[in-house]
Amino acid sequence: MVLHQDKNLKNLPPFTKSKYITIMSKLNWDDIQKQSDTILSCGLNKLTTQPFCDLINVSEKGFGNYLISLDKVPYYIGEGKELTKRLKQQFKPKTSTFYKNFQKHLSTNQLIKPTTIDKFKIQFIPTSIGRKEVEEFGIVNLPTKLNSFQLGKRNKCVIADQNGLWNIVQQDVAELLKEGEIKILKSGFTNWFDINIISSAGLYLVKDKSDKLIYVGESSDVGERITTHSGRTYFSALRRHIGTDILGFQLQEIKGKKRYFSETEDKKVTDFLKTCKATTFPVSFGRYELEEYLIKKHRPLLNRKDNKD
């Protein structure tokens, strides 16, 4: 899709320009990365203009985003692969992330009155691509009171309809993910410890010495995640899977969690990484969906989620 703007719009504030934009053709993968903020502005506008409802009125069973509010004030934004199931968890006090955070919030803010979980209302939309970015974008731009996220990871923008741009992007998901796949597989793979570190959201792919794809990962800060995988095993799922699934090690328990290997075994995990090649790939929009697509299609040995029919 090519967005054409009037030459006199350059002095208008961000996103005010968008009402003058004319949609000329389909978006491609590069377009949605460059225009991610505009797309997310439109998506968040759609979410926040949905009717408020109770859990019983939520019928969306597939991927989606939800916003939980109290007296029309946004408190928590989230995403889910099975939206109805996720919201059922959120509206049970024992399994609810937002309500537990609300209880903590009460203890530090005397201006907020205690209330029961059923007083909160829901807005929701189906989301075929971009559900994690909608969540992150909403935390920064609404903002929500009960989410935990580093605010500097998303731009501050005006929430507004962008000529139906959100709906158009949602219709082209299959083609967009195929384009993303082609681009990431063509990106340069280098030795693990020579990998290009990027401090932004995106994906990283790992191949073994036989050039077989063995792992696909995502992060809101890829460089930080690569550093984690390059260190000790305790905080790294990739290292744990290398140790157990490839090297045959047994995880040892610490504080009730089986998350680490011995010093000797940990060194052997690092030695294995030295034989691997990897690539990093920045993604401003659609990283969850591209990760899931790649795992389902290529079935990397060390991925467990989504690695099934």
For 65-118, what is each residue's pLDDT tens digit?
Answer: 999 999 999 999 999 999 999 999 999 999 999 999 999 888 777 667 889 999
pTM value is: 0.88
Question: In whole angstroms, how far apart are CA 14 and each of 38, 136, 155, 193?
Answer: 9, 19, 11, 40
Q: Which amino acid is at 245?
A: D
Task: Give the span between the Cα atoms of 196 and 189, in whole angstroms.
Answer: 9
Task: Give the span between the Cα atoms of 301 and 221, in whole angstroms.
Answer: 23
Which pLDDT tens digit goes with each residue over 189-211?
999 999 988 889 999 999 999 99
Which residues make Cβ contacts (< 8 Å) with residue 159, sequence separation at least 6?
41, 44, 45, 48, 141, 142
Cα angle 162, 168, 172 (rounded to 5 degrees) comes to: 145
**Contact at 8 Å (CB) between 243 and 265?**
yes
Task: Give the span between the Cα atoms of 244 and 141, in whole angstroms.
Answer: 42
For tokens 């971009």, the residue is: 130
Task: Give the span between the Cα atoms of 299 and 176, in whole angstroms.
Answer: 20
**Contact at 8 Å (CB) between 287 and 218?**
yes
Q: Is it the case that residue 11 has pLDDT exceeding 70?
A: no
Band of pLDDT at residue 155, cut at 50, 70 and 90:
confident
pLDDT for res 18: 42
> Residue 246: what are its φ and ψ, rounded to 5°?
-110, -45
Which SS3 state, helix, strand or coil, does residue 291 take?
A: helix
Once rounded to an integer, what is the mean pLDDT over residues 113-131?
96
Q: Which two tokens stand for residue 188?
A: 């340069």
Band of pLDDT at residue 307, cut at 50, 70 and 90:
low
> Residue 210: what are its φ and ψ, rounded to 5°?
-90, 10
- List of E strands, 134-282: 190-191, 202-207, 213-219, 252-254, 257-260, 277-282
